[in-house]
Amino acid sequence: DAGVIQSPRHEVTEMGQEVTLRCKPISGHNSLFWYRQTMMRGLELLIYFNNNVPIDDSGMPEDRFSAKMPNASFSTLKIQPSEPRDSAVYFCASSFPVEGLDYEQYFGPGTRLTVT
Amino acid sequence: AQSVTQPDIHITVSEGASLELRCNYSYGATPYLFWYVQSPGQGLQLLLKYFSGDTLVQGIKGFEAEFKRSQSSFNLRKPSVHWSDAAEYFCAVGSKTSYDKVIFGPGTSLSVIP
């Protein structure tokens, strides 16, 4: 099992540019989560999907952020336009929760985004 | 409101010493509890989880945690710390009865002195 795959691993871009982060969840998992991690704010949940449907996007900081999950094996997080304060490590995680049974979130290696 | 607190932002221990990282939660339903570890530059890795049954759970890398419902706690322990245990540790709580999100604590940073 390849685990959760994220690309790119590092992204450096200039302020105002569009940034797209990609995630491939573990095959068979039906829940997908996007997190942002910074020194100041720690680990923040941005949005999560269940069966490709966005369930809770209350953590998305503003309209510049958008996320999609067109199918069970792919998700994107887009920032347009990007700003220096968006610099962070963005993690994708997936899980297969079944009511009454245990589950866990599996994390990808993260994308380190730097906006100059 | 559901929440997880980790009272210790940073802990330093000597190699070979015992370790206890504290975690307290506030959750309306029966909780499902996790401890994750994050090494520098890496993603989060699950150390252990409590779903039901024995309240003392064993995890990877020699870690264990004990669920105490009366204290709303799920503290992580290790009898003898190794230098490679230096990392960030996150406690988290999730629901056993819905497909809702998992709530993570702020993390505790562990430093190990040789």
Residues B53-72: pLDDT tens digits? Answer: 899 999 999 999 999 999 99
Nearest CB neighbour to B46, from listed A48, A50, A104 = A104
Cβ distance A10 to A87 under 8 Å?
no
**CB-based contact (8 Å) between B46 and chain A?**
yes
- pLDDT < 50 positions in chain A: none
pLDDT of B99 above 70: no
- pLDDT at B97 (0 to 100): 65
* Structure confidence at residue B5 (pLDDT): 95
If you measure CA to CA, which chain B residue comes closest to A102? B51
Q: Is A100 in contact with B102 (Cβ distance < 8 A)? A: no
Chain A residues with CB-CB distance to B32 below 8 A = 102
The residue with greater pLDDT, B3 or B11, is B11
**B51: confidence class by pLDDT, cuts 50, 70, 90:** confident
pLDDT bracket for residue B31 (50, 70, 90):
confident
Residue of B nearest to A56 (CA): B101
Arithmetic mean of pLDDT over chain B: 92
CB A76 within 8 A of CB A22: yes
Q: Determine the straight-line distance between the first and last CA of chain A, rounded to whole angstroms.
A: 36
A100 contact residues in B (CB cutoff 8 A): 96-97
Task: For A50-71, write each residue's pLDDT tens digit.
Answer: 999 999 899 998 899 999 999 9
CB contact under 8 A, B45 and A33: no
Instruction: Supply the pLDDT for residue A1.
Output: 64
Q: Is B34 on the interface with A (CB under 8 A)?
A: yes
User: What residues 61-100 of chain B have any CB closer than 8 A to a CB of chain A?
Assistant: 90, 94, 96-99
User: Between B8 and A2, whose confidence is greater?
Assistant: B8
Contact B44 A93 (CB under 8 A): yes
Q: Do B42 and A108 touch (CB under 8 A)?
A: no
Residue A101: predicted pLDDT: 72
State the Cα–Cα distance between residues B62 and B44, nearest whole angstrom.
17
**How many C-beta neighbours within 10 Å does residue A27 have?**
10
C-alpha closest to that of A3 among A112, A109, A111: A109
Residue of B53 and B19 predicted with greater confidence: B19
Residue B29: pLDDT band with limits 50, 70, 90: confident
Tokens, residue A14: 């200039």
pLDDT given for residue A100 in this prediction: 65
Short-list A92, A43, A87, A107, CA closest to B109: A43
Query: Is the Cβ pair B32, A99 closer than 8 Å?
Result: no
Is residue A59 within 8 A of residue A47, CB to CB? The reply is yes
Residue whose tokens read 């204290």: B71
Quote the CA–CA distance of B113 and A96 in Å, as a whole number: 39
